[in-house]
């Protein structure tokens, strides 16, 4: 059994010595994408809310202010950055390790996936005493990441660029790439409404995601937050 190097072993007298197992899970491109995406979503949430609920008018000459212009620019820049990094994250799925692939598929056909999902639901509901250990996402997180975050992000990117194409013009590259959205939702206002609703869905997801990560870091037998910084997941073998 390997333990961390300790200058004076007597420091451990009277303390429980617990084995720690570490697995390298999240590769550097995944970690970089995670934090860039978190920053982009923060800017998008704030700027998107301000676009839908504009702040009060400023006094003085209109030519001296560019308030909404700056808000829209921040929204467009963050959205385009997120889209580029999301595409890079998708490409990494084909060259990265097994954990990097979880974001884009869910093994719904596997019995042990559903068994693990039920167990995790009980764990979050405080119905079981100990969680199971997973190298990557647990089944419940895996399903939420795919059906809420991944599909939600794709929806927000498509509808966002579709609305952007309205300002860029029908002959623009944006219109050619995302104009098909208006074939599904012919009324432009519907696209605006669904895009805004998507903002609140992802806001709720982000809140739950942060809560779950902090909760697991405190209560489970495995590291969470630090894993997305170092890439390593540490498992604690104690159950006390």
Residue 222 is given by DSSP the state B
CA 145/CA 132 separation, integer angstroms: 18
Checking if the pLDDT of 77 tops 70, the result is yes
In 3D space, the residue among 204, 178, 189 whose CA is nearest the CA of residue 52 turns out to be 189
Buried b (16+ CB within 10 A) or exposed e, 103-139: beebeeeeeeeeebbebbeebbeeeeeebeebebbbb
**Which pLDDT belongs to residue 13?**
43
Q: What percent of the chain has pLDDT over 90?
A: 67
Choose between 28 and 129: higher pLDDT. 28
Average pLDDT (77-103) is 94
- Please state whether the predicted TM-score (pTM) of the whole model is above 0.75: yes
Checking if the pLDDT of 115 tops 90, the result is yes
**Which pLDDT belongs to residue 10?**
40
Q: Kindly state the tokens that stand for 111.
A: 């019995």
Domains and CATH numbers, the chain: 37-57+65-92 (no CATH), 100-240 (1.20.950)
Residue-level length of the chain: 240
**Which pLDDT belongs to residue 237?**
66
Largest Cα separation within the chain, whole Å, is 75
**Which pLDDT belongs to residue 131?**
84
**Which pLDDT belongs to residue 139?**
93
Checking if the pLDDT of 238 tops 90, the result is no
């Amino acid at each position: 059994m390997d333990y961390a190097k300790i200058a004076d072993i007597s420091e451990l007298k009277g303390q429980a010595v617990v084995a720690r197992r570490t697995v390298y899970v999240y590769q550097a491109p995944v970690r970089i994408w995670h934090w860039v995406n978190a920053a982009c979503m923060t800017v998008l949430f704030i700027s998107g809310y301000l676009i839908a609920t504009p702040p009060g008018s400023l006094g003085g000459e209109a030519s001296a202010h560019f308030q909404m212009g700056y808000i829209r620019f921040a929204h467009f820049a963050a959205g385009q950055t997120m889209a580029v990094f999301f595409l890079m994250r998708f490409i990494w799925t084909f060259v990265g390790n097994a954990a990097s692939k979880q974001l884009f598929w869910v093994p719904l056909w596997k019995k042990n996936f559903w068994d693990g999902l039920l167990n995790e639901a009980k764990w979050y509901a405080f119905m079981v005493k100990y969680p199971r250990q997973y190298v990557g996402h647990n089944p419940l997180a895996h399903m939420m990441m795919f059906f809420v975050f991944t599909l939600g992000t794709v929806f927000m990117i498509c509808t966002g660029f579709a609305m952007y194409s309205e300002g860029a013009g029908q002959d623009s590259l944006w219109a050619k790439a995302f104009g098909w959205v208006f074939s599904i939702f012919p009324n432009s206002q519907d696209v605006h409404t669904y895009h805004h609703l998507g903002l609140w869905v992802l806001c709720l997801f982000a809140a739950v995601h942060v809560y779950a990560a902090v909760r697991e870091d405190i209560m489970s037998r495995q590291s969470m937050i630090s894993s997305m910084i170092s890439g390593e997941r540490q498992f604690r073998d104690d159950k006390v």
